[in-house]
Amino acid sequence: MFNKNNNNYSRRRFLAQSGLGLLAFAGMPNLLNAMEGMGAMPKLPPHTANPNFKADVEIELFCKPTSVAILVGQQTQVLQYSARLLHGPKEAVTEIPGSYLGPIIRLQKGQKVRIHLHNGLSEPTVTHWHGLHVPAEQDGHPLYAIDPGEKLVYEFEVLNRASMNIYHPHPHETTAKQVYHGLAGALFVNDEEEAALGLPSGDYEIPIVIQDRLFDAQNQLVYVRHMHDRMTGFYGDRILVNGRADFQMDVDSRAYRLRFLNGSTARIYKLGWDDGTPITVIGVDGGLLEKPETKPYMMLAPGERLDVWADFSGRAEGSQLVMRSLAFSGVLPKMGMMMNHGGLPVGSDYPIFTAKVTRKVSDSPKLPNTLSSFRRYAITDTANPNKPVPIAISEAHMAMLLNGRPYAYNDVQDIERIPVNTVQLMEIFHAHGGGHGQTTANEGQEAGHQGGMGMGGMRHGGMGGGMGMGGMRHGGMGGGMRGMGMMMAMAHPIHLHGQSFQIASRSIANGNEADYATVHEGFIDSGLKDTVLVMPGESVRIIKPFQDFKGLFMYHCHNLEHEDMGMMRDFLVV
């Protein structure tokens, strides 16, 4: 099932001459322009180990087909990461027994890490360290995808602060499919600032990786069946936590640290306890907040993480608390919701997991008042306070665009060229819809300058639910959903590679307020982020440093079906 149509892909790739010195990034744009076949992904010679790099941790990472028991009855064929620790502390690699998820990788800030990736699939792959600040050539760019049977060596130093990160495949146009079939894992970084807090750890720190999947009658995974599944993103009808259906955890009556990660390809969650207990958030994508925040619920879009303090003390033995995804609206065109299969519509109310108090204990750690401190930038610290770098969301026929273009590896626009060691103000917004074909970078920039709203979205799409209807009118039921405004009527979790960013401001266009009111209290904008959910009609300003490393750093929608349809671009840091 996993080896259909690979030859085509391999044939399209060609080996770049190694003498061209691609790693000297100064010459990269010219080299790339010189390559034929715009859009076709070249294949670079895989890195090998550098004997002068003295690794503190060395891991062999495999990915291959296997089968696991997920539902009752027949096992499910999946793709899985597995790892072997060659050198370093043994907590660096922990298997999750019985799960298709990759082992948990645990690193310390400052460690030097070497990872040997072995491709045991029947198609090209490459692994990306989502959230880590590593050199461009260690970041898992699709340029570095390796063929079946090949090996790729990564070497980097852990520069990040304590945080939960993700490792997952990033090959050109097949990321979503590989992740969906099982390739993903959690990667934790720990540091001294975090250790000094004495937060719950060991058995009291629990990863919660949430994914949705669709199974056939033989318990096999079903993936994209028609264009509509790609346009909206693919949605399953079963919620899995850490690779398990109907996940339940037995807890003591004390405080826990729950580390949430949305590993779904497209599904957005609004997480809340069933009894209305507020949620105490202590961290997001890029690590701990300055101080805890209490929220009625939390939004969690694909690629995002949340660090939650869950205190079960005072709860009776035998009592249960259910984490649910609560009702919300507006992230999909109305039609997308209608056509969504399986009794688990996006934005409906359904359970995620159950925590059951099975042991009464008298002791519990106290929630610290302050958690961490980190460098905070003001708009005046940016190189471009009056001219934000645009990230314009739009669409063309059968493609999804950022800054007016679908992904192409050798296609860096001027606005996508970022001077190294600068801090940039950026603005993510909805641009003109498909009726215009493409939005040019200039239009995008203009909209950015006018300060603060996805104006294209308003002018062309109308408002709220109206956008979805527009999608219907123009696209027609059977017509592949290419209606004007389809993308504008959807929420997009936008992810930027490299260093984490701050969220400076959000603004919502007239007409979208009602839907927005169902989600906006669930945004935690005070921490460091690498993925931000941008709602229909919304414009989000972020402040992002581009320090240390030159080269290509991707930015894309982390709705992985969107990413694979072209909703991805490169920044070239020069």
Token pair belonging to 302: 């694909």
Which of residues 180 and 297 has its CB atom nearest to ligand C2O in the complex?
A: 180
Which of residues 303 and 433 has its CB atom nearest to ligand C2O in the complex?
A: 303
Looking at 63-71, 164-172, 270-278, 469-477, which segment touches ligand C2O (CB under 6 A)?
A: 164-172
Nearest to 308 by CA among 271, 262, 259, 263: 259
Return the residue matching tokens 């096999």. 220
Residue 170 touches which of Cu ion, ligand C2O, none (Cβ within 5-8 Å per kind): ligand C2O
Which of residues 365 and 485 has its CB atom nearest to Cu ion in the complex?
A: 485
Pairing of strands 104-108, 185-190: parallel
Residue 244 touches which of Cu ion, ligand C2O, none (Cβ within 5-8 Å per kind): none
Amino acid letter, residue 296: P
Q: How far is the CB of 19 from Cu ion (least distance, A)?
A: 30
Return the residue matching tokens 């609206």. 329
What's the first-to-final CA gap in the chain, in angstroms? 42
Looking at 113-121, 156-164, 434-442, 551-559, which segment touches ligand C2O (CB under 6 A)?
A: 551-559
- Which residues have a Cβ under 8 Å from the Cβ of 388 and sit 6 or more positions away? 424, 425, 426, 427, 448, 449, 541
- For the CA atoms of 129, 134, 136, 142, the dihedral, rounded to the nearest 10 degrees, stands at -10
- Which residues have a Cβ under 8 Å from the Cβ of 439 and sit 6 or more positions away? 392, 394, 401, 403, 404, 431, 432, 456
Which of residues 254 and 495 has its CB atom nearest to ligand C2O in the complex?
A: 495
Residue 557 touches which of Cu ion, ligand C2O, none (Cβ within 5-8 Å per kind): Cu ion
Burial of 419 (0-12, 13-18, 19+ CB in 10 A): exposed
Looking at 163-171, 228-236, 388-396, 542-550, which segment touches ligand C2O (CB under 6 A)?
A: 163-171
Handedness of CA 246, 249, 255, 256 (dihedral sign): negative
Task: Verify binding: residue 13, ligand C2O, rule CB under 6 A.
Answer: no
Task: Verify binding: residue 554, ligand C2O, rule CB under 6 A.
Answer: yes
**Cα(176)–Cα(494) distance, integer angstroms:** 15
Nearest to 549 by CA among 206, 136, 204, 214: 136
Token pair belonging to 434: 């498909």
Residues that bind Cu ion (CB under 5 A): 130, 492, 497, 557, 559, 562
Residue 470 touches which of ligand C2O, Cu ion, none (Cβ within 5-8 Å per kind): none
Which of residues 516 and 553 has its CB atom nearest to Cu ion in the complex?
A: 553
Which of residues 382 and 559 has its CB atom nearest to Cu ion in the complex?
A: 559
Helix (DSSP H) and strand (DSSP E) numbers for the chain: 11, 31
Residue 168 touches which of ligand C2O, Cu ion, none (Cβ within 5-8 Å per kind): ligand C2O
In the 3-class helix/strand/coil scheme, how is 388-444 assigned residue by residue? CEEEEEEEECCEEEECCECCCCCCCCHHHEECCCEEEEEEEEECCCHHHCCCCHHHH
Amino acid letter, residue 440: T
Q: How far is the CB of 353 from Cu ion (least distance, A)?
A: 26
Q: What letter does residue 159 receive in the DSSP assignment?
A: -
Which of residues 300 and 458 has its CB atom nearest to ligand C2O in the complex?
A: 300
**Cα(239)–Cα(184) distance, integer angstroms:** 16
Coil, helix or strand at residue 225: coil
Max CA separation in the chain (angstroms): 68
What is the chain's Cα-based Rg? Answer: 22
Residue 559 touches which of Cu ion, ligand C2O, none (Cβ within 5-8 Å per kind): Cu ion
Task: Verify binding: residue 168, ligand C2O, rule CB under 6 A.
Answer: yes
Q: How far is the CB of 371 from ligand C2O (least distance, A)?
A: 25
Residue 554 touches which of ligand C2O, Cu ion, none (Cβ within 5-8 Å per kind): ligand C2O
Looking at 55-63, 401-409, 483-491, 550-558, which segment touches ligand C2O (CB under 6 A)?
A: 550-558
Neighbours of 564 (CB within 10 A): 24
Q: How far is the CB of 207 from ligand C2O (least distance, A)?
A: 16
Looking at 19-27, 246-254, 285-293, 553-561, which segment touches ligand C2O (CB under 6 A)?
A: 553-561
Q: How far is the CB of 170 from Cu ion (least distance, A)?
A: 8
Is residue 555 within 8 A of residue 428, CB to CB? The reply is no
Looking at 7-15, 147-155, 329-337, 552-560, which segment touches ligand C2O (CB under 6 A)?
A: 552-560
Q: How far is the CB of 309 from ligand C2O (least distance, A)?
A: 25
Q: Of 301-330, which residues contact ligand C2O (CB under 6 A)?
A: 303
Residue 556 touches which of ligand C2O, Cu ion, none (Cβ within 5-8 Å per kind): ligand C2O
**Cα(68)–Cα(541) distance, integer angstroms:** 43
Which of residues 460 and 497 has its CB atom nearest to Cu ion in the complex?
A: 497
Looking at 162-170, 245-253, 330-338, 373-381, which segment touches ligand C2O (CB under 6 A)?
A: 162-170
Which of residues 166 and 486 has its CB atom nearest to ligand C2O in the complex?
A: 166
Q: Of 453-512, which residues contact ligand C2O (CB under 6 A)?
A: 495, 497
Token pair belonging to 540: 């989000």
Nearest to 461 by CA among 441, 435, 442: 435
Token pair belonging to 269: 């969650």
Residue 506 touches which of ligand C2O, Cu ion, none (Cβ within 5-8 Å per kind): none
Q: Of 252-311, which residues contact ligand C2O (CB under 6 A)?
A: 303
Q: Of 95-154, which residues contact ligand C2O (CB under 6 A)?
A: 128, 130
Side-chain-side CA neighbours of 260 within 13 Å: the count stands at 29
Number of residues that bind ligand C2O (CB under 6 A): 11
Q: Which of residues 161, 170, 181, 305 is near ligand C2O by CB under 6 A?
A: 170
Q: How far is the CB of 303 from ligand C2O (least distance, A)?
A: 5
Which residue has the closest beta carbon to ligand C2O? 130
Q: Angle 91-145-572 (CA atoms, 0-180°, nearest 5)?
A: 95
Interface with ligand C2O (CB under 6 A): 128, 130, 166, 168, 170, 303, 495, 497, 554, 556, 558
